Amino acid sequence: MDSISADIVILPSPAISALAIKVSSGLHQFGTLSVLEEGKIFPHASLYMCQLKTADLPKVESILTGIAARHSLKILEAAEYAQENRYIDIEYMRIQDLDQLQEQVLEFINPVRDGLRPQDEARLKTAKGQDLENLKKYGYRGVGEAFRPHLTLARFVLEQELDTSTLPQVSEFSGSFTHLGLFEMGPNGTCVRRIATFALQG
């Protein structure tokens, strides 16, 4: 049966999204595998990456509609720029409301997922400790204590340490995240096809 690699995410306000796309596009000069692009590669912070059968997408949409109705928008504080594995990210402070949102997504979507994404099948062979436990239970490493809310600006072709003093103050990315989103994933952890969005309105 057909399935896709999916990302269930929270989406920033239009102002944060526009700033992220602008900053990201400027990073292309440093040699990138991916940058954000209006309507094509979407700014987001991931809650749960998982494999889903296409036939189950309407069920997943229904679940996420219910979750969004119980949760209000999240005000997140951008803490720092982070650079690792050729990615440059905006790291956000974890808050209890956001942890609870991820927990609900995991609780209701994990039983629906279709095994492991190809990337996670490969990771399972070498994972250890908490990563291994999370992959076995959820098919995703970034769960619980390993949850790291962040918005990826770009991935570089080569490993490099960008001078972030040339970028806007990271605090400019603080603000509201207003929607849940269900996306199909592309390479480099990107969200390339919007399947549905759900206003956080609880």
Quickly list DSSP for 143-183: -GGG---EEEEEEESS-----GGGSPPGGGG-EEEEEEEEE
State whether residue 37 is helix, strand or coil: strand
User: 122-143 pLDDT, tens per residue?
Assistant: 887 888 888 889 889 999 999 9
Identify the CA nearest to 192 among candidates 26, 3, 2, 4: 4
The answer on pLDDT for 108 being more than 70 is: yes
CB-based contact 140:49 (threshold 8 Å): yes
Q: Average pLDDT over the chain, rounded to whole?
A: 95
- Output the pLDDT for position 131: 87
Class of residue 171 by CB neighbours under 10 A (exposed 0-12, middle 13-18, buried 19+)? exposed
The pTM assigned to this predicted structure is 0.95
Instruction: Write down all domains in the chain, each with its CATH number in brackets.
Output: 3-116+148-199 (3.90.1140.10)
d(CA 34, CA 87): 9
56 with 7: CB under 8 angstroms?
A: no
